[in-house]
Structure 1
Amino acid sequence: MKFSVKKLAAVTAIAVLSAFSTPVTAYAAQVSVPEVSHSCVFSSTDDAAMQMRKYIKERTADFEINIDASVASKETVGQLMIFKAFDETGSGSEGDYLRFSVKKLNCKIYWKNNEYRLVYHLNYYTTAAEEASLTQKLDTALASLNTEGLSDYNKFLLLYRYVTSNVTYSSDISDKYAYTAYSAVENGHAVCQGVAQLLYRLCNDSGIPCRIIAGIAHDTSGAREDNYHVWLVTKIDGKYYLSDPTWDLSAEGDNFRYFLKGSNDFDSTFNMRHIPQNDNGLTFPEYDSDEFRNAYPVFSENAPSPKCSEGDIDGNNSINAVDASAILSDYSRVSTCGTSALTVSQNSCADVNNDGRVNAVDASCVLAYYAYVSCGGKGSIDTYIKNEVLKNVR
């Protein structure tokens, strides 16, 4: 799976220059920088990064940031501020989503009177109007998916199914839009960067912490050359797991090979290996560093599937109105967007009347059984349905 014809989505150039004047010899192509009317000197890197984040979200091509020189040395301030602008905030449209939205970045740093003037020129994969259109469609999609009340596992499963069943792999990797979530939604196809970007955004906006990992897809058999690739690390029930939605795009049904895998099993299926790698140096983290691994410690084993039994969808050993609500919500979800949040096992347990369909009838049966048990009734839900529900249908 190719990641990019260039190195890891963004090629960054940073020049550190003395004084607020144009140098005789330019480090990179000249950048036209408009005056920023509300420009001010920031003493806090957090405040400066917030302003930079705003510019990037608005897809502003040229902007400048003025910051007190005491925040960092001239050798490190450029990288520091880029990293701060791409900090994880919990918002799906920020953090790694913005990091992978920048196609090319140029920064010149001027230094005078204990103040840095950071002059930026950025190229993006998408426009502000395209991002606004994408946001509107994703808001609609999330409303129809209705993740409220779902466990972390079921929520991620729902989003993973939604992405892998609605996106195909782009055949034209020279198309810049193929590297975006915008293409994944608007055109129904993208390369790994766009696929990961889309799932990252959906997850974070649904309360599931998620990071995009960049690196290399390596064929240990030597049959294929190494390619740049991205995948995800996701926090489920307090533990981090690895997933690769791109390599699961062609999965039949729920036969996912790279869904919520532990570190011991992520690359056990094929000869391909995921190798975390920072090939950019400036705007991407050191994914293979102790710092990153300590911040996102991947659990060794695969995420366990939720437990359930007939009628007991949430596996809490009680059949009640919560289970009926879960069945009804999923029936509505499937009817609206064609995607279920239930595992194969949960879906089987939800079909309490065994007619091969999960719908409002099953929810009604669960509610009826709950009322029956609450009034002192005995026996399993299967026996109750056979003796009380189905005989009335006959």
Structure 2
Amino acid sequence: MKRVTKSVTALLLALVLSLTLLPAQALAADTAPAQTTYIGSYVNPAYAGKIGIPRRQSTLSVQTAQITQPKKAGTVYTSEAAAAADLRKQMVSRSEVMSVTLRSASKDVETIALNLWNLAMDHVEGSGTTGDYLRWQFAAMSCRFTGESLDSGYRYTFTYVPDTRYSDTIWFTTNAQEAALTNYIRNTILPQLSLGGKTTYQKVQAIYNWITANVKYDYSHMNDPTYWPQYTAYAAAVQKKAVCQGYANLFYRLANDAGVDCRIITGKGYNDDGTADHAWNIVRMADGKYYCLDATWDAGLKPENYEYFLKGLTSFSRDHQAETDKLNTPYWTQYQSRTSAADYKASSTQLPAPAVTGGNDAQGRPTLKWNAVTGAAKYEVYRARSKDGDYIKYSTVTGKTAIPTITRCALWMPKARQARGAAWSASPTSRLCPPPPSPAAMTRRAVRP
């Protein structure tokens, strides 16, 4: 085995994270099995200089440990994407010690570390607990890696732990708090929102209405940047108090989990009190364009009085300025051209609801039928188990008939859609039940050998 050493220079994580790996030695052969562990410091640039950690990191001295019998590694990944996916799962579970092992042909440890972290923090459409949700809910961490020279390439294990100079934890919330939030969303928020079968606009509207009606700004901690819960979705939903980052995190989680693509944008907000760091959201609507929302500044208002709901850049940019440096949201440059200049018009995508009938086809199968809707390119069929239950998408068809596989009675509802986007506000439902068993089947069940 060769002893792995590497000259390590300062790393900058471009999107989220400032990484410093400290100088070590050059690769050299050794007759005795050994590994060297290097310690570096990661600080989330989004919070540098704001939450009790310095904007610039101090220099750390290298710590080394000679290991004659290294601990056997777990899964050894051969692609950075797979290793990052594992790291992402550990982040979601709020692990305070996170490790991934990667086999690579590269000696460039700096680039590998950078790529793993960036990939793990990438936005994932349809997932409200990853991406920006992770990016904006941690402060700092330390990283160590061990390396081993193989016959072909190298094996590296990267381990992330709390940076105890600032905190005993990496994350703003614990796994228990995230579990409590998940339960609260599932058992309290979602039943109130009743998102099943709703259009994109209706989902966004319901989520926004809930947040603005239930979450208050946390003025009691606004001058205490070390009180980290104020930045979290947990504080916004469960404690009903948060600052703008908590509002944006909660909206991000609920929207993405509901199938509405959403990002968190940060920059400057301009109001009567002057200029301040601020956070808000953008969402992709049925027309394929993104629109801006600021639940913090609409909090406590009635929906008819909203000033920052689904706004285009022309009006929203009057008092919001996105910033794309590493302390904010550099990915905004990927979305700016896809964000509408004009405000969203909900009525522009409405179609009449299909008229629904139920019954059986010629073979006796329960069948859902409806009339054709002018302008509809397809129909989505939704099912609910009870009158008060959520409607869950079952299938998509282009015709006017659906023959679902039915094992129990349920309520069924079609939703008309345009070629791009939803165009439906409400639709009658039809109750369908499985056909009764044939007399022969009843006889077979009744007779025992």
TM-score, structure 1 normalization: 0.67
Partner of 2:8 in structure 1? none
Letter in 2 for 1:153: Y
Question: Structure 1 regions of 5+ residues with no counterpart?
Answer: 1-8, 308-313, 323-330, 334-362, 368-394
CA distance, structure 2, for counterparts of residue 81 and residue 285 of structure 1:
19
Q: Deviations over 1:3-58 (max 9, x none)?
A: xxxxxx9764331655741459995488999x987623321112101111121112
Give the conservation status (yes or no) of the 8 Å contact 1:86–1:99: yes
Shift of 1:109: 4.4
Q: Deviations over 1:72-107 (max 9, x none)?
A: 833322221111111222211111111122222333
SS in 1 for 2:304: coil
Q: Deviations over 1:222-277 (max 9, x none)?
A: x62x4222111111011111111111114244311111111112134xxx332223
CA distance, structure 1, for counterparts of residue 136 and residue 354 of structure 2:
45
Partner of 1:293 in structure 2? 335
SS in 1 for 2:338: coil
2:314 is the alignment partner of 1:264: yes
Corresponding pairs, count: 309
Taking structure 1 as reference, are residues 73 and 298 closer, same or farther at Cα in structure 2, changes over 3 Å only?
farther
SS in 2 for 1:120: strand
2:139 is the alignment partner of 1:139: no
2:70 is the alignment partner of 1:21: no
Taking structure 1 as reference, are residues 37 and 167 closer, same or farther at Cα in structure 2, changes over 3 Å only?
farther
Letter in 2 for 1:286: P
Partner of 1:83 in structure 2? 118
- Whose relative contact order is higher, 1 or 2, with alpha carbons under 8 Å and at least 6 apart? 1
Partner of 1:121 in structure 2? 161
Q: 2:86 aligns with which of 51, 61, 70?
A: 51
Q: Deviations over 1:99-145 (max 9, x none)?
A: 12222233344555233332212411111011101001111221331
Partner of 1:208 in structure 2? 260
Taking structure 1 as reference, are residues 319 and 51 closer, same or farther at Cα in structure 2, changes over 3 Å only?
closer
Partner of 1:103 in structure 2? 139
CA distance, structure 1, for counterparts of residue 174 and residue 113 of structure 2:
25
* Structure possessing the higher radius of gyration over alpha carbons: 2
Q: CA RMSD in A?
A: 4.0
Partner of 2:414 in structure 1? none
2:129 is the alignment partner of 1:93: yes
Partner of 1:189 in structure 2? 241
Q: 2:295 aligns with which of 241, 245, 250?
A: 245
Give the conservation status (yes or no) of the 8 Å contact 2:21–2:38: no
Letter in 2 for 1:156: V
CA distance, structure 2, for counterparts of residue 249 and residue 39 of structure 1:
47
Give the conservation status (yes or no) of the 8 Å contact 1:213–1:232: yes
2:95 is the alignment partner of 1:60: yes
Q: 1:302 aligns with which of 318, 343, 351?
A: 343
Letter in 2 for 1:228: D
CA distance, structure 1, for counterparts of residue 61 and residue 208 of structure 2:
42
CA distance, structure 1, for counterparts of residue 193 and residue 181 of structure 2:
16
Question: Structure 2 regions of 5+ residues with no counterpart?
Answer: 1-14, 28-34, 42-58, 163-169, 357-369, 371-386, 390-425, 429-449
Shift of 1:306: 2.3
2:277 is the alignment partner of 1:233: no
CA distance, structure 1, for counterparts of residue 206 and residue 279 of structure 2:
21
SS in 2 for 1:142: helix
Give the conservation status (yes or no) of the 8 Å contact 1:211–1:234: yes
CA distance, structure 1, for counterparts of residue 241 and residue 235 of structure 2:
6
Larger helix percent: 1
CA distance, structure 1, for counterparts of residue 92 and residue 142 of structure 2:
17
CA distance, structure 1, for counterparts of residue 217 and residue 311 of structure 2:
22
Larger strand percent: 2
Taking structure 1 as reference, are residues 162 and 287 closer, same or farther at Cα in structure 2, changes over 3 Å only?
same
Taking structure 1 as reference, are residues 305 and 42 closer, same or farther at Cα in structure 2, changes over 3 Å only?
same
CA distance, structure 2, for counterparts of residue 276 and residue 24 of structure 1:
31
CA distance, structure 1, for counterparts of residue 63 and residue 317 of structure 2:
44
Taking structure 1 as reference, are residues 30 and 258 closer, same or farther at Cα in structure 2, changes over 3 Å only?
farther
